Amino acid sequence: MRARTLLALLLGSTVAVASAETIVVNGRVMVAPSSIAHPRRGETMHQVEARFGAPERRYPTVGKPPITRWDYPGFSVFFEFTRVVHTVVHSGSPSRSS
């Protein structure tokens, strides 16, 4: 139960903070500001590809609703249908401004 509550709070906080990274420091989950340029929620696949170029890897669509993942250097983008629902910045990614 505690893990579910933490997960719900974590997901809620990352959606509320437009430009942040979720990190673990000394065993505690924290949200840190991110300076990595990455797609925003609601952008289309076409907009993402126009802005960031072709992804390094495209994974097959899975589930209902259909979820697709694209990997770029430094982050992964998750789409529901053709819209961004979440972007995960990889730890250790070099800082870049938006």
Q: Per-residue confidence of the chain (98 residues) as pLDDT tens digits?
A: 555 554 455 555 444 334 555 667 787 776 666 678 899 999 999 999 999 999 999 999 999 999 999 999 989 999 999 999 999 888 765 554 44
Phi and psi angles of residue 31, each rounded to the nearest 5 degrees, phi first: -110, 125
In a shared domain, residues 62 and 90: yes
In a shared domain, residues 12 and 41: no
The three-class DSSP label of residue 95 is coil
In a shared domain, residues 91 and 56: yes
The three-class DSSP label of residue 56 is coil
Indicate the pTM of the whole model: 0.64
Three-point CA angle 10, 51, 69, nearest 5°: 45
In a shared domain, residues 58 and 22: no
In a shared domain, residues 44 and 28: no
What is the domain range of residue 45? 35-98
